[in-house]
Amino acid sequence: VQSRKQQIGGQIPWQLGSLHRLEELWINSNNLTGTIIPQSLGNLSSLRVFYAEENRFSGGIRDVLGQMTSLEELIVASNNLLGEIPASVFNLSSLTILSFGVNKLHGNLPREMGLSLPNLVHLDMAENQFSGSIPASLSNASNLVILQLQFNNFTGRMPGMESSHKLSRIYIYQNSLGGGKADDLSFFSSLPNATSLVQLFVHMLLSHNRLSGTIPISIGSLTNLGELDLSHNMLSGEIPASLGSCAKLEMLSLQSNLLQGTIPSSLSSLRSIKLLDISSNNLSGQFPKSFEGMKLLQLLNLSYNSIEGEVPSNGVFRNGSIISIVGNGKLCGGKKNAFSHKLIIKIVISTVSSVLLLAFVGSWLLIFWNKKRGKQDTVSADDSQLPLSYRDLHKATNGFSGANLIGVGSFGSVYKGLLDKTLKNIRHKNLVRILTVCSGIDDQMNDFKALVYEYLANVVHCDLKPSNVLLNEDMTGHVNDFGLARFLQPTGDPSSIGQMSSTIGIKGTIGYAPPGKRLILDTYKCITTEYGMGNEVSKQGDVYSYGVLLCEVFTGKRPTDEIFKEGLNIHTFVRTALSEKLMAQVLDPVLINELPLGQATPFDAISSSNTQETKKKKGQILEEVLISILEIGVVCSSDSPNERISIGEVVTRLVSLKNLLHDKFAQRQIGGM
């Protein structure tokens, strides 16, 4: 029976249990609800394949599942399943694929599951709340090829996998693995003893754990290794030179560890490398000139180390945008206009000529407009772009201090700084407001070009969040950090978005990036966002981020707060409160204290003659406005892009609410006075 992607709703009919000879049941990618395994399905003793992922099943998993003794493939990922997996499931010895990923399951995995499931090829328990240790018996699963345990709460050591002769992909990032001991990576040492493993290993992603110790030299024996991610751990010691033997390595990420020593020159032998990130460590020594020969390199991040010397300007480094060296104070040289950390405040180096052309056209239009009206403007085009030297910018940003670094994107680094009031108060009517331009020589005798601007129009931002919105003295918000942005073509058609974007495959920030299809295999990470690798960006993605931002501002809760677990997120948190008329329970307490709902408001201090009834009406108006704002946040942060409203409609609604507040309170204040 195959009923895939048919938008079928309702529950699994109990009558299916009478099909005793049924061997395959495909009901994935529908809108089915209720219990995933009705009691009657226990009669399907001949069922070999059961695909039910991407539905809306909820509740616990019934033990009746263990009665389907012929099951070979069980895939129920991406639902809302709760509780623990019945022990009987792990006794289905015929299973080759077992996938419970992206649910709300918890508990420990059985110690003997590697023995009781001898035919297991693919195990997917990712994105749940499983805890405890990874069963050591998994090393006996000799047919295991793919192991997905990422985004859980597993602790302890990673078991040796020397008997898993076919294992090629390990995804165990975003857990709490590691005991703070020097042998946390000891399982690496056993891998070279398994000849087949040496030939098969392709992906090994262990980032965001608590792994300590040193990277073993034996890792160089994994000659077919394509991706190695050990970032965001507590690894120490030196980067082993043997990594240079991993000739097929395309991605190597060791960032945010405690690694020391110099960068091995042997890494230049990685001719297939595309992404090399060893930032935020304690590395020192000279910049490896031999990296010039890495012809396929797309991103090299050496930021926040103590590397010194001259940055190469030949070979792959002729494209300065591939390298990030922020936080290495002793580096010099490099390709002119390279991706350097000494650039600008709120400055993004982009296509300088085109932006200057916009500024020129805007200035010309301003002069033409002034002449037409026969008036002499007090600020001419020449006066408006006061010259700024590198010294001025250096002073404004406190020497391009790391404390003033706002972010790093594909165009350059973005710094905040204080400019002279004369510059700050300049007003133009250009489409893009250019405060000034700077062109000259920096303190290392390199060419330095910069644009100082307030905002950039006609782009899909791709990373809207509170830290990327700055407020001026008038409390007017200004979006900044366009490092992940993509330009819209003049048509405004989202389908014609340009290709200028970050070199990193995954875009956006967790919690603010819109959800999307879940990609697992043959990707750098498990991607669950519309901005994931290979997915097109759109204005609706920014609408989602804005909706989350709106909910955060008025609830005082971040989308990554600890309360948001087991399927609860900031969208459902606010939506549920609104539907149950419990808005006061989700509003930021600070906001409630300042604007007591249904009672007197701060505006009442203007007049002591206001009656209690008037005060109550004001509170009711405020409550209605807050509900409307939260409703906007909820609809904008809907999972489906088709359910979100346009940003134009958002503006219309918010302006309407602003006018309502102004009219109601202005009238009452005048009447009270």
The tokens for 224 are 């077919």
**Would strands 477-479 and 176-177 be described as parallel, antiparallel, or unpaired?**
unpaired
**Would strands 515-519 and 527-529 be described as parallel, antiparallel, or unpaired?**
antiparallel
Q: How many CA atoms are closer than 13 Å to the CA of 151, on its beta-carbon side?
A: 19
Q: How far is it, in rounded angstroms, from Cα 486 to Cα 459?
A: 6
**Would strands 447-453 and 434-441 be described as parallel, antiparallel, or unpaired?**
antiparallel
DSSP state letters, 283-308: EEEE--GGGGG-TT--EEE--SSEEE
φ, ψ dihedrals at 107, nearest 5°: 100, -175
Nearest to 507 by CA among 471, 544, 478: 544
Q: 622 with 595: CB under 8 angstroms?
A: yes
Tokens 């709460």 identify what position?
A: 153
Dihedral through CA 665, CA 667, CA 669, CA 673, nearest 10? Answer: 180
**Would strands 323-324 and 344-345 be described as parallel, antiparallel, or unpaired?**
unpaired
Q: 540 with 514: CB under 8 angstroms?
A: yes
Nearest to 278 by CA among 328, 320, 317, 318: 328
Active-site residue, from 184, 229, 277, 463: 463
Residue 662: is it exposed, middle or buried by C-beta count within 10 angstroms (0-12/13-18/19+)? exposed
Q: How far is it, in rounded angstroms, from Cα 88 to Cα 117?
A: 11
φ, ψ dihedrals at 424, nearest 5°: -60, -30
Give the bridge partners for 591, in sequence order.
none
DSSP code of 513? S
Helices (H), 108-217: 113-116, 186-190, 195-200
Q: 259 with 280: CB under 8 angstroms?
A: no
The tokens for 349 are 């180096």
Dihedral through CA 278, CA 279, CA 280, CA 281, nearest 10? Answer: 30
The tokens for 83 are 């509780």
Report angle CA 268, 318, 397 to the nearest 5 degrees. 105
Residues 6+ apart with CB under 8 A from 593: none
The tokens for 261 are 């020593």
Q: 64 with 89: CB under 8 angstroms?
A: no
Q: 615 with 658: CB under 8 angstroms?
A: no
Q: 90 with 65: CB under 8 angstroms?
A: no
Q: How many CA atoms are closer than 13 Å to the CA of 642, on its beta-carbon side?
A: 0
Q: Is 463 one of the catalytic residues?
A: yes
Q: 292 with 314: CB under 8 angstroms?
A: yes
Q: How far is it, in rounded angstroms, from Cα 209 to Cα 155?
A: 9
Helices (H), 419-496: 421-424
Q: Which residues are catalytic?
A: 463
